Amino acid sequence: MMENILSILIFFPLVAAFVIFLFLRGGKTTMWATFIATIIELILTIPLMTSFDKTTAAMQFVEKADWIPALGVQYYVGVDGISILMIFLTTLLTAIAVLGSFTYIQKRQREFYLALLVLETGMVGVFLALDFFLFYIFWEAMLIPMYLIIGVWGGKRRIYAAVKFFLFTLAGSVLMMLAIIALFFKHGEITGVYTFDIMAITAQAVKYTAGFQTIIFLAFFLGFAIKVPMFPVHTWLPDAHVEAPTAGSVILAGVLLKMGTYGFLRFCLPITPAASISFMPFVAILSVIAIVYGALVAMVQSDVKKLVAYSSVSHMGFVTLGIYAINQAGIEGGILQMFNHGIITGALFLLIGAIYERTHTREISEYGGIAASVPMFATIFLIFTMGSIGLPGMGAFIGEFLVLVGAFEAFSDYAIIAASGVIFAAVYMLWMYQRVLYESLNKRWENLKDMNLREIIYIMPLLIIVFWVGIYPETFTSYMHESVRHLVEQVFSAGVAMK
């Protein structure tokens, strides 16, 4: 089984969707079948993680076969210390998102759950693909189900949000495709072998001229920056989050945003090392702007979901800052913060969705004093609020600390400004929590029902992980040590060789 574990992980959700489509008609039976399928997918990641060799930076569980030999296209997949946590995050959040959607998806239930399963195949495929052609197919495959999830099951302005999401992401995809084609021909020109093999193309990075690297870097960077999203190409995110159903917001914030930062790690740094080093200050400036700007805009939001959406712009700024510090601490902090952000922000969107189901409003001004009616909700919401701030003992503290250590080593001036983001986060998150849960009681919410068993079940794994990462982060960082060390050496050795 371990010989084909990656293919099973990629295609099991798609097979499950096909079986459900053929044999199940009822919405509820589809709902439970989808949940069981996503739980099986999550369970399949356990042997992957327990069998993973943490002492090597090499790709593991590799599967490789010719697909379209005439075009140099292969079915080529593998996993390393950079991608393995993203696989676990994807399968975990997808299962939780399905369980969390049981009560609010009333129309076209069957189609909704089929879309989630197809989306999961695309997400897992992106993190495992080692052939550019295969990667691009999975990248585009994600776009369609998420567009449908927002556009069909979203809020009042769902069509506007879905189209904006689609157009922004498509624009980035076109630039990325042009960069891939250019690399395909450049590799053929250098070696005489035309291939989309990511590892082979990366191995030739030292032979790419500075001008060529700059063009490729900018094409990739803009494509991935839109996905993160970085300032100033972030404007699609708040609209998409506000209009998306809860499951869509959880997947969007928890996994899809990580596709952009993963692209920086897998493509920009190793394939264009000299350009990446040259653009370090530029990316650092954009990251710091995102940290501060996202926090300031979050402070003035009246919609609690939009507040959390803008907080994602700020938090992902820390991730890009750590990655482009291009050192061990910064990149490890960035990867860990990608994971932490998925857990914490995913949980916040689940909690906001749970209270929205009861009140049918997300306006902060319409809440107030509900903590007495929903003490369990208030306690868990407080924990994840503190987690978002980066309270010591919780996961985000470790991630942000590593990012800032790496940033101080690379560019101390920017790191000092970035550190202010922690203070801003405390301001907007605690102020939001105070206005929603405390102050004067809105009489409309006197009889609110607290969290039920299903809601407690789906939030508990995220709660455990937040403290697990905060108390013993080595469980998670141990996967990435060798891969990050190799990546940093790869970037600087290639960059210096070119000079």
Does 491 fall in a domain?
yes
356 three-class SS:
helix
Does 323 fall in a domain?
yes
Work out the end-to-end distance of the chain between its first and last CA atoms, rounded to an integer number of angstroms. Answer: 46
Q: Answer yes or no: is pLDDT of 499 > 60.
A: no
Residue 202 has what pLDDT? 92
Q: Distance of CA 114 to CAs 38, 145, 342, Å?
A: 11, 9, 22
Q: Look up residue 311 and give its amino acid.
A: S
The two tokens of residue 74 are 């292969």
Report yes or no: 110 and 34 within 8 Å, Cβ to Cβ. Answer: no
399 — pLDDT class (breaks 50, 70, 90): very high
Q: Look up residue 271 and give its amino acid.
A: I
Q: Which of 13-22, 59-68, 245-254, 440-449 has the lowest mean pLDDT?
A: 440-449
Does 356 fall in a domain?
yes
Mean pLDDT over residues 168-174, rounded?
88
Could you give the CA distance from residue 228 to residue 396 in angstroms, rounded to a whole number? 18
497 — pLDDT class (breaks 50, 70, 90): low
Partners of 73 in beta bridges? 68
- Residues of the chain by 3-state class (helix, strand, coil), percent to 5: 80, 5, 20
* DSSP H/E element including 472: none
Of 101 and 77, the structure prediction assigns the larger pLDDT to: 77
Report yes or no: 476 and 339 within 8 Å, Cβ to Cβ. Answer: yes
Does 429 fall in a domain?
yes
Residue 444 has what pLDDT? 81
Does 106 fall in a domain?
no
Q: Look up residue 18 and give its amino acid.
A: F
Could you give the CA distance from residue 98 to residue 113 in angstroms, rounded to a whole number? 8
Number of folded domains that form the chain: 1
Label the pairing between strands 60-68 and 73-79: antiparallel
55-59 contact pairs (CB < 8 A, 24+): 55/482, 56/482, 57/81, 57/482, 57/483, 57/485, 57/486, 57/487, 59/130, 59/199
Give Cα 323 distance to the centre of its chain.
14
Does 459 fall in a domain?
yes
387 three-class SS:
helix
Could you give the CA distance from residue 153 to residue 114 in angstroms, rounded to a whole number? 13
* Highest-scoring range by mean pLDDT, 130-139, 301-310, 408-417: 130-139
pTM greater than 0.75 (yes/no): yes
1 — pLDDT class (breaks 50, 70, 90): low
Give Cα 164 distance to the centre of its chain.
19
The dihedral built from the CA positions of residue 417, 418, 422 and 424, taken in this order, carries a sign that is: positive
Residue 358 has what pLDDT? 87
Kindly state the percentage of the chain with pLDDT values over 90: 64
286 — pLDDT class (breaks 50, 70, 90): very high
Q: What would the pLDDT profile of 186-200 be if each residue is shown by its tens digit?
A: 998 998 889 999 999
Residue 240 has what pLDDT? 87
Of 54, 56, 40, the residue nearest 5 (C-alpha):
40
> How many other CB atoms are found less than 10 A from the CB of residue 260?
24
495 — pLDDT class (breaks 50, 70, 90): low
Report yes or no: 14 and 117 within 8 Å, Cβ to Cβ. Answer: yes
Q: Answer yes or no: is pLDDT of 386 > 80.
A: yes
Residue 371 has what pLDDT? 87
Q: Which residues contact 244 (CB under 8 A, 6 or more apart)?
A: 149, 150, 153, 154, 155, 158, 161, 252
Quote the domain boundaries for residue 284. Answer: 279-499
Of 327, 321, 452, 298, the residue nearest 389 (C-alpha):
298
171 — pLDDT class (breaks 50, 70, 90): confident
26 — pLDDT class (breaks 50, 70, 90): confident
Mean pLDDT over residues 50-72, rounded?
92
CA 414, 218, 205 angle in degrees (round to 5)? Answer: 100
Does 120 fall in a domain?
no
Write out the DSSP string of 309-336: HHHHHHHHHHHHHHHTT-SHHHHHHHHH
Does 284 fall in a domain?
yes
Write out the DSSP string of 13-42: HHHHHHHHHHH---HHHHHHHHHHHHHHHH
The dihedral built from the CA positions of residue 470, 476, 482 and 483, taken in this order, carries a sign that is: negative
Q: Answer yes or no: is pLDDT of 425 > 60.
A: yes
Write out the DSSP string of 417-455: HHHHHHHHHHHHHHHHHHHHHSSSPPGGGTT-----HHH
Q: Which residues contact 19 (CB under 8 A, 6 or more apart)?
A: none
Kindly state the percentage of the chain with pLDDT values over 70: 98
